Copies of this chain bind each other. A is one copy, B any other.
Amino acid sequence: MCIMQFDHVAIPSNDIAKSVEWYQSHFGAEVLFQDKTWAFLNLGGTKLALVTPTQHPPHVAVKVSEDELTLAATRADVRIDLHRDGTRGIYVQDPFGNAVELICYPPGKTSYESV
């Protein structure tokens, strides 16, 4: 197993705009992507996702290549999700049920090529 790159942490919010304002005003967070049910922030050098609990579980995410994602999905026998921002991913669970996302940024196909 190679060493992978941490990508983001996602925490729940029932009012994305309210949470975004809180993380901006308290910690100087920068908005990378935002809509009514989801946001992606730069919180002091790491990406923080705000997720609607009915859409995504709280999770940590590691960045993988397209090949690594395909291999992991095959091994886990799960379907790869295509997200609104162009990223693709699957969820696995650690031994105590914490969700870990394997996320892939297909070159040229996401909203934030420079992130």
Contact = CB atoms under 8 A, between A and B. Distances in A.
Contacts of A25: 1
A110 interface: no
Contact of A43 (B12, B14, B27, B62): B62
A9 interface: yes
A36 to B, nearest CB: 15
- Give the dominant DSSP class at A's interface: mixed
Interface string A20-39: 00110111101000000000
A18 interface: yes
A26 B1 contact: yes
A94 B5 contact: no
Given A4-B27, A4-B44, A28-B2, A22 B60 contact: no
Given A23-B94, A95-B18, A60 B6 contact: no
Interface of A: 1-7, 9, 11-15, 18-19, 22-23, 25-28, 30, 43-46, 48, 58, 60, 62-63, 92, 94-96, 98, 100
Given A2-B28, A13-B95, A13-B96, 4 more contacts: A12-B98, A19-B94, A19-B95, A22-B95
